[in-house]
Amino acid sequence: MPQVEITIGGRSFEVACQEGEEPFLQAAAQVLDQEASALSAHVGRMPESKMLLMTGLMLADRMAGTDDRLKEAEQRAQAAEAGLGQAQAQIDAAEAAAQQAVQQAERAAYDAVEQARQEAEARIEAAQAEAATQVEAALADSAARLEAAEGEARRARAELESRANEIGLPDDAVAIPEAALEHLQALVLEAEALAERAQGAE
């Protein structure tokens, strides 16, 4: 086991250590020597045992202060870590709120589009129904007018036939009114067919 000579407070000591521990022992001895030299400068020369005791106490006090500062630093680190955790929780909550807001906006937009589509379809259906009603009314009016014209034509034909009989005219004298009557009948049938198709289209 190697022997290492160290100097503490101006006094030399030989200390045994494990192989390879010499640098660590020299570093520790240097710390003790610094404390012992400072103590001797204030108090003066003192017995070896007292010097070593006082030096050890001073180092212990310094280490205790270092431990306190270390604990304080650890507490600050823990507080900072807790603050980071709270900040992360707030960030997560903000992200969740933002995502919820986006979903609500998308849902509102979809509802608005759907409502607009339904309103447009309702207006189209109403317009189609109104147009069909107007067409049906127009066709009905046309049919009524054609029927009235047909009635007038029948009365005119009957009157012509009566007068032709009175004055002895031939039968072909009323052929033209007969053709006009047939034309009116065809128009009435066509109007009725158009009305039926309009009702079927509804």
Q: How many CA atoms lie within 13 A of 167 on its CB side?
A: 7
Q: How far is CA 67 from CA 30, 71, 72, 79, 128, in A?
A: 21, 6, 8, 18, 90
Angle at 17 between CA 13 and CA 19, to 5 degrees: 135
List pLDDT tens digits, range 58-80.
788 878 888 888 888 888 898 89
Query: How high is the pLDDT of residue 184?
Result: 61
Is residue 201 over pLDDT 70? no
Amino acid at 81: E
pLDDT digits (tens, 9 = 90+) for 90-109: 999 999 999 999 999 999 99
Amino acid (1-letter code) at residue 165: N
Structure confidence at residue 195 (pLDDT): 63
Q: Please tell me the predicted confidence (pLDDT) of residue 189.
A: 72
> Is this model's pTM higher than 0.85 or not?
no
Tell me the C-alpha to C-alpha distance, in Å, between residue 58 and each of 28, 177, 200: 14, 144, 112
Q: How confident is the model at residue 119 (pLDDT cuts 50, 70, 90)?
A: very high
End-to-end CA distance of the chain: 115
Tokens representing 100? 């919820």
Domain map (residue ranges) of the chain? 3-75, 122-201
pLDDT at 28: 86
